[in-house]
Amino acid sequence: MTREMTSSFLLVTFAICTLIIAVGPSELLRIGAIDVDGHFTFKPSDLASVSSDFGMLKSPEEPLAVLHPSSAEDVARLIRTAYGSATAFPVSARGHGHSINGQASTGRNGVVVEMSHRNIGTPEPLVEPEEMYVDVWGGELWVDVLKKTLEHGLAPKSWTDYLYLSVGGTLSNAGISGQAFHHGPQISNVLELDVVTGRGEVMRCSEEENTKLFHGVLGGLGQFGIITRARISLEPAPQRVRWIRVLYSSFEVFTEDQEYLISMHGQSKFDYVEGFVIVDEGLVNNWRSSFFSPRNPVKISSVSSNGSVLYCLEITKNYHESESDTVDQEVEILMKELNFIPTSVFTTDLQYVDFLDRVHKAELKLRSKNLWEVPHPWLNLFVPKSRISDFDKGVFKGILGNKTSGPILIYPMNKDKWDERSSAVTPDEEVFYLVALLRSALSDGEETQKLEYLKDQNRRILEFCEQAKINVKQYLPHHATQEEWVDHYGDRWDQFRSMKAEFDPRHILATGQKIFQNPSLALFPPSPSSSSASW
């Protein structure tokens, strides 16, 4: 036996002993007997790699094992084993690991399903140009979906700002960006799903088949099933993008213009509407600094009447190269209706794919400076339109001071573009805003950049909203208590809990979300059988 073989043998032996101690001999036999086409791994390095996430806010907890599946049936076999076991050990799907608060963690007694790594046997995106859709594996990254669909001159309609996220991950939340005002979130652009439920059943679902599960899984935070295939609606892809940023010193004028832009749904409209808040002058010229010209730096004091806060509207117009002669005129007509600071127009043109992948380029810069793998105490809120001015006064002009430690996105969306049958929770108004405080904590930075300071600031923002009776809803939610989750879902809680009882009665799935913190497990259930859905 070679040294390498001896090392591997000892590694596996150690892992098996760990499993025996943790779950007992009978459970070990169950896991060891699972016949999968992919593979399980027990290597410490593999377990460590799935024990933390982008947020880096939780102490890493290594699972018992990691499954690299080759098919939906591999996932189903694992879950059926968990469902039929005495302890009903937890199982969580992990995409690109971009969660903030350990949502994909199972704790030390569970198995993580590593979905996003290309495993032998997992299908590549399958584009159907005539039908205008693409079928994708649940662990596929959106950037790879884009590359495949562009081969046919097509692209998904709705995006997230960052493309290195898994399809199943964003669909389990909502998936939003500046296109959502027109196309809705990504969950509003799904035609069909294959889902493995907490009973280990592989179920195909759509508007016509298993409808309750279809809508429940979309935005369902992984509580009812693991998405193994999604059929995504496509549209003809533009070739180029006119990318424009303009500045405002008045919040009221800024939001009036944003709300006007998202009310436009005809041919003559911008294709993307976002914005961000600038309370730190450095962010004007340094954040995504390639956009603003260093030869013409922007000074808050020169354009802001209060000298402290600016608001940047970010808009785009898609076009084909053959339309380059007319895009200037179209943009000029649209811009005439806006009331931005006249001297603050910044414009650039770029390829469509480069615009969609813009955040990845910022990521590479941060990685080169060792500023990417740091704690990210992000806070994402949906704020009702009727209270966004109060939020501005209390948070942007109040709690935040003049230091932010990261970008603050703000843009409105239309509620009628969200399917109310999905599990995603939004404010009960026709227009609501996303406010995303995307901060990074630095241990060796200023006091205002340190993790505890930023976490306390998040707490103060939530307390302010509660005291001011601003009925915000968290996006990518994280709540500490069962009562907070009940409040989050409001009158939809009973339906959500009923869905959990139907599709994951033993509370096996996505326990890292901590929605059902004190579940009473069912008595030992009969083993389920898999349905016919496959891909």
Catalogue the active-site residues: 98, 161, 274
**What tokens appear for 344 in the block?**
């603050």
Element (H, E) at 435: strand 431-437
Report the candidate in 313, 291, 299, 295 with the shortest Cα–Cα distance to residue 246. 313
Contacts of 412 (CB under 8 A, 6+ apart): 181, 255, 258, 259, 262, 273, 385, 431, 432, 433, 434
Report the candidate in 483, 522, 529 with the shortest Cα–Cα distance to residue 504. 522
Please spell the DSSP secondary structure of 185-205, one letter per residue: -GGGGEEEEEEEETTS-EEEE
Work out whether strand 133-137 and strand 126-128 pair parallel, antiparallel, or are unpaired.
antiparallel
Q: How far apart are CA 261 and CA 254, in angstroms?
A: 11
Q: How far apart are CA 247 and CA 254, in angstroms?
A: 8
Please spell the DSSP secondary structure of 197-250, one letter per residue: ETTS-EEEEESSSSHHHHHHHTTSTTSSEEEEEEEEEEEEPPSEEEEEEEEES-
DSSP lists the bridge partners of residue 156 as: 234
Cβ-contact 240, 250 below 8 angstroms: no
Cβ-contact 518, 482 below 8 angstroms: yes
What backbone torsions phi and psi does residue 531 show, to the nearest 5 degrees? Answer: -80, -175
Cβ-contact 410, 435 below 8 angstroms: yes
**What tokens appear for 6 in the block?**
């001896």
Q: How far apart are CA 384 and CA 427, in angstroms?
A: 6
Q: How far apart are CA 220 and CA 214, in angstroms?
A: 10
Position 130, amino acid: E
Cβ-contact 388, 255 below 8 angstroms: yes
Q: How far apart are CA 76 and CA 204, in angstroms?
A: 13
Report the candidate in 22, 25, 26, 96 with the shortest Cα–Cα distance to residue 62. 22
Cβ-contact 259, 324 below 8 angstroms: no
Work out whether strand 111-114 and strand 91-94 pair parallel, antiparallel, or are unpaired.
parallel
**What tokens appear for 362 in the block?**
């910022």
